[in-house]
Structure 1
Amino acid sequence: MALETTLLVFLLLGAFSGTFSQTHCKPPAGESRPQIFQRQHYDNPKTNHGNNYCGAMMHKRCMTNQDPPKTKCKETNTFVHAPKKTIQSVCSNGGTPYQGSANLRVSNAPFSVTTCKIKGNSGTHPCEYKANSDTRKIVIGCENGVPTHYDEGIIVPK
């Protein structure tokens, strides 16, 4: 009985420590632009968070600025559900220059994406998001043949 009680206490502590550790998220120090792109926009295969996909992913990927004094929630973010190499190919033969831009490229093929938008006027905590899943072409910024920026402001139909 004592072993079962001890095991239960450890399980509960593990559950609580996981909850507490999720309240503060800090992006890794010294991230490169390609690493930031990957953290903020790559999710393949799509993570299963049920009805709270955006809330969970935005927090998990450190885009809700949980640590004071940062109190602003990222308003919009898109996750791309495709293999890394497929996304990276947009920077070469899988994409074309976007409207004459030197480093923006539009994908030749549509991608499965989930766009998370802040609900209402809530720009501060708790950050609540609405998810919109779609298939569309993506516009990304590239440097040295790798993605470094997802352009949220440009939505290109299939």
Structure 2
Amino acid sequence: SCLSHVIFLVRVFCAYVLLHVNNPKNEAPSNRAYCKMMMVDRGVIWKYTNTFIHEPINTINAVCKDDGIPVGGFNRQSKKTFKITTCTFNILTFSFNGLNGTSKIVLTCLNGLPVRFVRYI
């Protein structure tokens, strides 16, 4: 039904926001401390790598509309760059490393909303 489709889309969008959006960026003494805090707080310590986007949600959502370029399937690449932090788990030190950057991003979109972070470019 239409309602079940809407509920599904809202759940997927909310899960995406929880995994990938942090704006403004939470303060931490270092990238390592930021990544440890965020990966634990967001419940994604099971992921090897995760990227957080530090932009307003409306700016991110716009990638799925006029501010994005179709790149195949349901994926769209941003026209502008975004502030991001990528957190990666280091198996040797059993800790997270963080890398700040500014990059274009590729998102999977459904009904004009991002539902998956694909990669940064």
Bin of the TM-score, shorter chain as denominator length: 0.7 to 0.9
How far is the alpha carbon of 1:120 from its aligned partner? Answer: 3.1
Count of aligned pairs between the two proteins: 111
Q: Which has the higher strand share?
A: 2
Name 1:128's counterpart in structure 2.
95
Question: RMSD value over aligned CA atoms?
Answer: 1.7
Q: Within 5 Å, which residues of 2 pair with 1:1-158?
A: 32-51=11-30, 52-64=33-45, 73-98=46-71, 101-120=72-91, 128-151=95-118, 154-156=119-121
CA distance in 2, matches of 1:134, 1:96: 21
TM-score norm. by structure 2 comes to: 0.86
After the TM superposition, which segments of 4 or more aligned residues of structure 1 sit over 6 Å from their partners? none
**Gapped regions of structure 1 (runs ≥ 5):** 1-29, 65-72
Identity %: 32
The amino acid across from 2:69 in the alignment is T
TM-score by length of 1: 0.66
- 1:46: how far off? 0.4
Shift in Å, 1:121: 5.1
Q: Distance in 2 between matches of 1:58 and 1:109?
A: 26
Provide Cα deviations, 1:86-144, integer angstroms capped at 9, x if missing partner. 0000000010111xx1210000000000000011357xxxx621000000000000001
Q: Which has the higher contact order (CA 8 A, sep 6+)?
A: 2
Q: Measure the CA separation in 2 of the matches of 1:102 and 1:92.
A: 14
Q: CA deviation at 1:49?
A: 2.0
- Unaligned 5+ residue runs, structure 2? 1-7
Q: Distance in 2 between the 1:120 and 1:144 partners?
A: 38
**Secondary structure in structure 1 of the residue aligned to 2:66:** coil
In 2, the alpha carbon distance for the partners of 1:136 and 1:45 equals 17
Amino acid aligned to 1:63: V
Q: Deviations over 1:66-101 (max 9, x none)?
A: xxxxxxx21000000000000000000010111xx1
